[in-house]
Amino acid sequence: MIRTLRAALLGTALLAGPVAAQENIRIGVEAGPTSLDPHFASLITNIAFARHVFQPLMEQDATQNLRPAIALSLRAVEELVWEVKLDPAARFHDGSPVTAEDIAFTIARAGDVPNSPSSFRYATRPIAAVEAVDASTIRIRTNQPTPLLPNFLALVMIVSKKHGEGASTADFNAGRAMIGTGPFRHVSWQPGSPVVMERNPAFAGAAPAFQRVEFRPIANTGARVAALQAGDVDMIEIVPPDHFARFKAETARYATAESPSNRLIFLTLDSDREDSPFIRGRDGARIANPLRDPRVRRALSLAINRDAIVSRIMQGQALAAGDLGPPGYFGTSPDLRPTPFDLDQAKRLLAEAGFPDGFAVQINGPNDRYINDEQVVQAIAQMWTRLGLATTVETKTRSMWLSEAAQLRYSVNLAGFSPNPELLGMLETQIHSWNTTLGLGTANRGRFSNAEIDAIIQRARTTIDDDQRRTLTQQATRMALVDQTALIPLFFPVNTWAMRRGFTYEARTDEMTLAFSAGRAAR
């Protein structure tokens, strides 16, 4: 009751008048964090919320280029040694400076949080030691050349050893351990409820435009749109294509922001198990899993009309994909085009693989995670029906879908992933064989495995020279997509935001909705 009254009063205050409207912002988001613990889960949503209260050493800007945060610089001084220059002005919310001990504690903790569904171990595993040189200089030693270390660490929020040592995820969720260096201070949160923060007056960087921010989780896209139209929120993310066009046209009332996404929407295929859970003969009998044959995987890709999905379902707010990253992304190949729609060739390949009459398959996916995700799954099912498959569809809410996908309970699954900050991130997590020792293949839900491709990926991830690493990345990608169809790329969506007139937002390629990227329009 108290929380409800407080939220109501806050909403009233935010609508009370010009001064309140300028000092506060209410943002309608698709989902809140699964935890406030900045190291609990390496998920874009969680990382975005964590970035308000905490900071990494170097942070990624709107196009994922690195810029100073707690560190003024982070550079390789030897093949296995990185030098970090800390910003002496950086202070935790309790006023204490950031020290080498805080950095070392964070790196030790981040990859070892109990019950983490998506660990940061990939970012911290290469680090062998953290050493203090002087009060503002740190050396990070790695156990192998790690060219992406600065970008990995850009996703790891630095926590105070004083407040984080012995603190559990529950302590962060309750707010007791929420002591960071970020532009906002934590005020309140409970799962399913708004996240409320206030501006940190002692923040060393540029002050956010708003004194107070309230992130309201509104999972349903229509409800988010309605909330903006009713004035219940000032800004929303992930705007449905048809409504985005209307907001864009109504310049007297609304403003919009958009950016191409680096997130690939794709299908994972169970290419590992002999008996896959949702693969059967057309008569319902168990059959040897046809997805283990690259010819079948190629046929499924050829039977998908990506242009139709982009134009009809995404209403033009997407780019058909033939690579693991969007054009211009580091490691992409200009000549890798989307697989052309060719139903006749798909049928020939299916017959050649021994399935002239097709087989039965269920396609799984979320119904509240990506724009029009359920419609995309339904469209692919219809396309595969024309190929000769007996297709069914099952979609579930984000939490259930994510949990079941992690448990490998699907044969074919609609998924999305953002390589960070280059294509190698996609190869390491989605294409490399599942390998807990190396921390690779961590999101390879189809358990695709190819030793030759693995070897190239491992070479790339220890190659400091950019040109050499780009060539290796392109080689591994071509083998994975063209030769093996390790997964089926579909499209890259366009990230969208809409807001009431008078507000602005710096659109981001990584999909993050950050209160400190919002501002007031010039009058």
Q: Mind listing the pLDDT tens digit for each residue in 73-111? A: 999 999 999 999 999 999 999 999 999 999 999 999 999
In three state form, how does the secondary structure of 98-116 look? Answer: CCHHHHHHHHHHHCCCCCC
Share of the chain above pLDDT 90, in %: 82
Contact between residue 122 and residue 209 where contact means Cβ atoms under 8 Å apart: no
SS3 state of residue 313: helix
CATH (one of 2.40.160.20, 3.40.190.10, 3.40.50.2300, 3.40.30.10) for 2-217: 3.40.190.10
E-strand spans in 298-359? 318-320
- pLDDT exceeds 60 at position 18: no
* Ramachandran assignment for 465, one of left (phi > 0), alpha (psi -120 to 50 degrees), beta (any other): beta
Tell whether pTM > 0.85.
no
| Residue closest to 495 by CA, chosen among 195, 151, 244, 230 | 244
Q: How confident is the model at residue 20 (pLDDT cuts 50, 70, 90)?
A: very low
User: What is the Cα–Cα distance from 362 to 9, expressed in whole angstroms?
Assistant: 48
pLDDT score of 64: 86
Of 172 and 148, the one with more pLDDT: 172
* Residue 425 Cα distances to 60, 269, 285, 304, angstroms: 15, 19, 39, 26
Sheet holding 71-78, edge to edge: 71-78, 81-86, 137-142, 127-134
Count of CB atoms within 10 A of residue 15's CB?
14
Q: How confident is the model at residue 329 (pLDDT cuts 50, 70, 90)?
A: confident
Residue with tokens 């950095």: 103
- pLDDT exceeds 80 at position 72: yes
User: What is the Cα–Cα distance from 230 to 228, expressed in whole angstroms?
Assistant: 5
Q: How confident is the model at residue 14 (pLDDT cuts 50, 70, 90)?
A: very low
* Ramachandran assignment for 447, one of left (phi > 0), alpha (psi -120 to 50 degrees), beta (any other): left
- Report, at the CATH architecture level, how domain 264-493 is classified: Roll (3.10)
Dihedral sign, Cα of residue 235, residue 239, residue 241, residue 242: negative
Write 348-353 long-range contacts (CB < 8 A, 24+).
349/295, 349/296, 349/298, 349/299, 349/302, 350/295, 350/296, 350/299, 350/387, 350/388, 352/295, 353/290, 353/293, 353/295, 353/296, 353/299
Count of CB atoms within 10 A of residue 513's CB?
23
What is the maximum alpha-carbon separation in the chain?
Answer: 71
Q: Which two tokens stand for residue 223?
A: 């409800």
User: What is the Cα–Cα distance from 417 to 488, expressed in whole angstroms?
Assistant: 13
> pLDDT, tens digit, for every residue of 104-159?
999 999 999 999 988 899 899 899 999 999 989 999 999 999 998 999 999 999 99
Mean pLDDT across the stretch 426-449?
92
Contact between residue 130 and residue 104 where contact means Cβ atoms under 8 Å apart: yes
pLDDT score of 3: 35
Mean pLDDT across the stretch 270-288?
95
User: What is the Cα–Cα distance from 502 to 518, expressed in whole angstroms?
Assistant: 11
- Give residue limits of the domains in the chain: 2-217, 264-493
Mean pLDDT across the stretch 166-184?
97
> pLDDT, tens digit, for every residue of 391-437?
999 999 988 998 899 999 999 999 999 887 789 989 999 999 999 88
Single-letter residue type at 315? Q
User: What is the Cα–Cα distance from 491 to 323, expressed in whole angstroms?
Assistant: 9
Q: Which two tokens stand for residue 296?
A: 């079948």
Mean pLDDT across the stretch 518-523?
88
pLDDT score of 22: 61
Give the CA-trace dihedral at 432, 434, 438, 443, to 10 degrees: 80
* Count of helix runs (H) and strand runs (E) in the chain: 18, 21
pLDDT score of 1: 31
User: What is the Cα–Cα distance from 399 to 369, expressed in whole angstroms?
Assistant: 9
